[in-house]
Amino acid sequence: MPITLAWDSKFEIGHERIDSEHRIFLSLIRDLSVESDTGASKERIERTLHEIFKYADFHFTSEENIMADLAYPQLAAHKQEHKMLLAQLKNFIQRYRADLQSPETVVDFLFQWFALHTTQEDKLIAKFIARLGQSALFSGAIKR
């Protein structure tokens, strides 16, 4: 069954760009879920997996640049989390191509990772932004 969970405020971290990118990421995961549930062709599912991988890579670079601009103290650890997800996702895609992995398993993995990462790791960025307060607003680091 496709993931029907709508965007929820619990995924928001308070940075307009990151939140916008997270909405797109969740939308791509839902697209994969629908394709899997409706019996889309293997080729179509592979294209969506490739899109998700490329988008995740883009989003992680974007988020890491924002964290660097904010001098976020946990940047190195956060980058490592991103690197691990990309490696896991690449493995899932290779296993799917080899008929060793179902798309449903990839959807479950991606959604669980997304939900956990945004509500825990990315919330730490939100707390850091909140502590920066007005100084970040004046520097343009936070969009409200």
The identity of residue 10, as a single letter, is: K
pLDDT at 2: 47
Residue 29 in this model has a pLDDT that exceeds 80: yes
The reported pTM is: 0.85
For 80, how many CA atoms within 13 A lie in the half-sphere containing its CB?
4
pLDDT at 141 over 70: no
In the predicted model, what is the mean pLDDT of residues 27-37? Answer: 93
pLDDT for 4: 54
Tokens read off for 114:
């997304």
Cα dist. 67→11, 35, 52, 122 in Å?
Answer: 17, 34, 22, 10
DSSP for 6-64, please give it: PP-GGG--S-HHHHHHHHHHHHHHHHHHHHHHTT--HHHHHHHHHHHHHHHHHHHHHHH
- How far apart, in whole angstroms, are the C-alpha atoms of residue 99 and residue 60? 28
Q: What is the mean pLDDT of residues 64-89?
A: 95
The mean pLDDT of 103-126, rounded to a whole number, is: 90
Whether pLDDT at 74 is above 90 = yes
Note the pLDDT of residue 134. 45
The band of 5, judged by pLDDT with boundaries at 50, 70 and 90, is low
